[in-house]
Every structure is written in structure tokens, then in C-alpha cells.
């Protein structure tokens, strides 16, 4: 089975994480300081504040912004985006304003410029799946209008644009260490960081951060990661019946999975130290794999690769299927032939005018398996099966 990989962990990550439990250092310990020092080197001039989730780093920034500019209630977000970003904006008492995306699935800077107003508090510029947004232009737009810019580098660390690390543009940067990211330190409460790029924000950010309770690492985060990354596909039918039963009995999500803002746990730092050691190799490997997919996809011209550029690092391989393709039927056929897929994010289009490009692209997108050590034979097999099933299952265009 060619699976979607949620984490690229080796034996050292698992070993040292378990050892942190045995030594009693999973909540607090010395590794947190070591990670902070490493991130200060990776992001010079942007003091990091570590929290237990990337969304809490985002919420920390938005709450500081709202406190400084209470007359501005709106936050611009990409129309094609992880729903946790929109939920975090709303949870801070602010109004998310969706703006259309370009062909590479990132914010359209022209659309952002048209959407800026006196009510705009901030713009969240997401580098989706590692693909850099037009961050330099967005930074200029926001600086000229005195609007806060959040450089959302949740999915990508270690990549520079114009000589600057993603995450260091704008007023703050947001990082996440959850599954399917560049640095993976766990499942739900995997950790994240807020980078205070604007020195004027350092003090108010720090005041709020210091009020957060100490980090805590729950064993369920480890078991959930192992289940999701290693065993989920072996028992996906059990997941289906579990979800049906939960809906029938009106059982809500367990409280343990609902995260409370905290500082990052030491166990996450333990894993991050190993993830940082292998960062350059994983980036190089994923660039190589993206090139392999581009070469195979180009053989027949059926599929698009909207985020590909030569030499670009991508955390996920998301392809564009031909118009008229029955995506649900295609995914089922691929699964039957041993290729796992994942559907893309939803389009957030309320309450605003329809984001045309996002609505056109989203129904045609499909993620396929990828990881930094994937070989040419595996890429060839995935692409061959994908092409065959597209030919077989594509619906006629109207």
C-alpha cells in the first residue's frame, strides 16, 4: 500500500520520546531550552515563543493585534485554507474575510489589495503545503496601510525567499509542528511557535505568553500519531463504524482532544531536536521527489501540478485532475489498487463574494503519497495507476 505519510520519524524520535516518559521529563525538561536556542539560530532576530499548537500561536498574535487596534475587526484569510485558521480567527472575536487564491493555491495579492479597508486588522499569508506565497508584495501592502501581517509558515521551516526565512516576514511568524508539516513533533498537541518579527510587538506578545500554563504531554498524542501514521489504513473500516456509532449516539469528541493553550511540552522538544538534525536532508529529498512527480505527470499531460516550480520544496504533493473527473470514484479506485489519497481543504467563501479560482480548483485537487525517501519506482507506480484510473473513471466534460 502506498500510504500518505503524516510523519517522517525514525527510531530515535520514538526512543527518546519514550525515554522522556520514563525519566519524568515529558512535561518540562532541558530540551526545551535547546530547541529555543536552535530556533534563534534558524530565525535570527525573531524571538520564538513556543506553545502547544500552531493555532494557539496564531491566536496569541491575533489577540495582541486586537488589543492594540480594537477598531479593526476583520482578518483577511485565503479562501482555500485549513479550517482551523478560520476557526481561530472567529474564536478571537474577529471576522474572517476570505480572499481568492492564485493557481498555486496561495493568496492572490491583487485580490488582497482590493479587499483591504479601514476595518482590516491583519492579513494571514499562508505558504500552503510549503509553496511560498507572494510574501514580499503582501509585506509591502500591509506596511503601507499599517495593517498587521502574519507570515504563516506553519507547514514549512528552513526555506528562504529573497534571503529571508519564511516565517520572518511581516509582524509575526507562525510555525506548527503537527503532522504533515516540515518538522513533526506529534499529533494534535505537537507544539508550535510564534516569532515576534516586529520588535514593537515583543513585549505585548511576551506578556500574554508568560501567562500561559506550563506544557503537558499526554500519552494519547503519541498513540494517536502511531495509529494515524502506521495502522490507520489497516483498520479504516473500524474508523467508519466508530464514527457512525458516535453520530448515532450523539457522542461528542473526547475532551482530551480539545486543546487548551499552553506552552510547548518538553517531549515535543525532544522530538524536534532530532527533526532539526535531519531537516536539510528531508528538504532535499522532497525537492527530488517533487521533480520525479513532475517528470512522470508530464508524460501524458492529463494532470496538473499547480504548486510545482523547479527546485521548490513541498510538504505535500497535491495534483489537479482533469475537468469532469469524478474525484470520489477516482479515490476509491486508487485505494482498491493500493494508492492512498487525501482530499484537499474546503473553500471558505462566507460571508463574501464567491472566490472564483478557489471554487474552480478545489473540486479537482487530490493529494497522493509522498515522503523524502521515496524512490523513482514508487513514484512511477503511483503515477501509472493514477493515469490509468483517470482514463477509466473520468466523467465526460459538459
Domain with 378 in it: 279-391
Q: Give per-residue pLDDT as tens, 367-384.
A: 999 999 999 999 999 999
Q: What is the pLDDT of residue 394?
A: 61
| pLDDT tens digits, one per residue of 387-398 | 999 999 765 544
**Residue 257 counted as domain residue:** no
| Residue-level pLDDT at 230 | 63
Pairwise CA distance, residues 113 & 193, whole Å: 28
* Domain final position from 179, 210, 241: 210
- Flag whether 223 is in a domain: no
Same domain, 295 and 165: no
- Residue 74: inside a domain, yes or no? yes
- Output phi, psi for 174, to 5 deg: -120, 130
Same domain, 60 and 196: yes
| 317-320 vs 172-176, strand pairing mode | unpaired
The CB density around residue 73, as the number of other CB atoms within 10 Å, is: 15
Domain boundary among 210, 239, 261: 210
Please state, rounded to an integer, the average pLDDT across all residues of the chain: 91
pTM: 0.91
Same domain, 186 and 303: no
What cell was used for 70? 480594537
Is 53 in the same domain as 165? yes
Residues 206 and 315 in one domain: no
Q: Is residue 243 part of a domain?
A: no
| pLDDT for residue 320 | 97
Among residues 210, 227, 257, which one ends one of the domains? 210
**Same domain assignment for residues 164 and 42:** yes
Average pLDDT rounded to a whole number, residues 211-218: 95
CATH label of the domain that carries residue 361: 3.90.1150.10
Residue 269 within a domain: no
Task: Convert the pLDDT of each residue in 113-134 to its tens digit.
Answer: 999 999 999 999 999 999 999 9
Residues 44 and 167 in one domain: yes
- pLDDT surpassing 50 at residue 84: yes
What is the structure's pLDDT at 377? Answer: 97
Domain assignment of residue 274, yes or no: no
Is there a single domain that holds both residue 157 and residue 302? no
**Has residue 251 got a pLDDT over 90?**
no
Residue 313 belongs to a domain: yes
pLDDT of residue 219 exceeding 50:
yes
pLDDT of residue 76: 98
Sign of the four-CA dihedral 220, 182, 123, 197: positive
Classify residue 398: in a domain, yes or no: no
Give the integer Cα–Cα distance in Å for 307 and 290.
10
Same domain, yes or no: 41 and 146:
yes
Q: Can you give the CATH number for the domain in which 121 is found?
A: 3.40.640.10
The Cβ-side half-sphere exposure at 33, using a 13 Å CA radius, reads 3
d(C-alpha 135, C-alpha 126), whole Å: 9
- Among 57-66, 69-78, 197-206, 353-362, the minimum mean pLDDT is found in 353-362
- Pair 45, 187 in one domain: yes
Number of domains in the chain: 2
Banded pLDDT at 228 (limits 50, 70, 90): confident
- 318 shares a domain with 197: no
289 in the same domain as 193 = no
Interval 55-78: pLDDT, tens: 999 999 999 999 999 999 999 999
CA 252 to each of CA 16, 39, 92, 237, 247: distance values in angstroms, whole numbers, following the listed order: 33, 37, 23, 20, 8
User: Could you give the C-alpha distances from 236 to 184, 228, 370, in angstroms and in order?
Assistant: 23, 10, 20
Q: pLDDT category, 353, cuts 50, 70, 90?
A: low
Question: What is the tally of helices (H) and strands (E) in the chain?
Answer: 14, 11
The answer to whether residues 367 and 343 touch, using CB atoms and an 8 Å cutoff, is: yes
Amino acid at each position: 500500500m502506498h500510504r500518505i505519510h503524516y510523519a517522517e520519524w525514525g527510531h530515535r524520535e520514538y526512543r527518546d520520546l519514550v525515554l522522556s516518559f520514563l525519566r519524568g521529563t515529558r512535561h518540562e525538561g532541558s530540551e526545551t531550552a535547546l530547541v529555543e536556542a536552535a530556533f534563534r539560530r534558524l530565525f535570527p532576530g525573531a524571538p520564538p515563543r513556543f506553545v502547544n499548537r500552531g493555532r494557539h500561536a496564531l491566536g496569541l498574535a491575533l489577540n495582541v493585534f486586537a488589543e492594540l487596534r480594537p477598531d479593526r475587526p476583520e482578518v483577511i484569510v485565503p479562501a482555500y485554507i485549513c479550517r482551523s485558521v478560520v476557526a481561530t480567527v472567529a474564536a478571537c472575536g474577529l471576522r474572517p474575510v476570505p480572499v481568492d487564491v492564485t493557481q498555486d493555491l496561495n493568496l492572490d495579492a491583487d485580490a488582497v489589495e482590493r479587499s483591504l479597508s479601514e476595518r482590516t486588522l491583519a492579513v494571514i499569508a499562508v505558504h500552503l503545503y510549503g509553496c511560498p506565497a507572494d510574501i514580499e508584495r503582501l509585506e509591502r501592502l500591509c506596511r503601507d496601510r499599517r495593517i498587521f501581517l502574519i507570515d504563516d509558515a506553519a507547514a514549512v521551516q528552513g526555506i528562504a525567499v529573497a534571503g529571508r526565512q519564511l516565517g520572518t516576514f511581516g509582524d509575526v511568524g507562525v510555525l506548527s509542528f503537527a503532522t504533515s508539516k516540515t518538522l513533526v513533533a506529534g499529533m494534535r498537541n505537537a507544539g508550535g511557535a510564534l516569532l515576534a518579527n516586529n520588535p514593537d510587538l515583543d513585549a505585548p506578545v511576551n506578556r500574554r505568553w508568560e501567562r500561559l500554563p506550563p506544557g503537558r504531554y499526554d500519552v494519547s498524542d503519541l498513540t494517536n500519531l502511531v495509529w494515524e501514521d502506521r495502522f490507520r489504513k489497516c483498520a479504516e473500516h473500524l474508523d467508519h463504524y466508530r464514527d457512525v456509532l458516535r453520530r448515532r449516539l450523539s457522542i461528542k469528541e473526547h475532551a482530551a482532544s480539545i486543546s487548551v493553550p499552553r506552552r510547548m511540552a518538553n517531549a515535543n522538544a525532544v522530538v524536534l531536536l532530532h527533526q532539526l538534525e535531519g531537516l536539510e536532508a528531508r528538504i532535499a529529498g522532497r525537492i527530488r521527489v517533487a521533480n520525479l512527480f513532475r517528470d512522470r505527470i508530464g508524460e501524458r499531460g492529463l494532470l496538473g501540478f499547480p504548486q510545482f516550480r523547479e527546485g521548490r520544496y513541498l510538504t505535500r504533493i497535491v495534483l489537479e485532475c482533469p475537468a469532469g473527473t469524478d474525484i470520489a470514484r477516482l479515490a476509491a479506485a486508487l485505494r482498491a489498487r493500493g494508492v492512498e489519497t487525501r482530499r484537499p481543504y474546503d473553500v471558505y467563501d462566507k460571508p463574501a463574494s464567491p472566490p472564483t479560482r478557489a471554487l474552480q480548483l478545489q473540486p479537482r485537487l487530490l493529494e497522493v503519497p509522498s515522503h523524502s525517501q521515496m524512490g523513482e519506482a514508487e513514484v512511477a507506480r503511483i503515477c501509472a495507476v493514477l493515469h490509468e484510473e483517470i482514463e477509466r473513471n473520468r466523467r465526460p466534460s459538459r
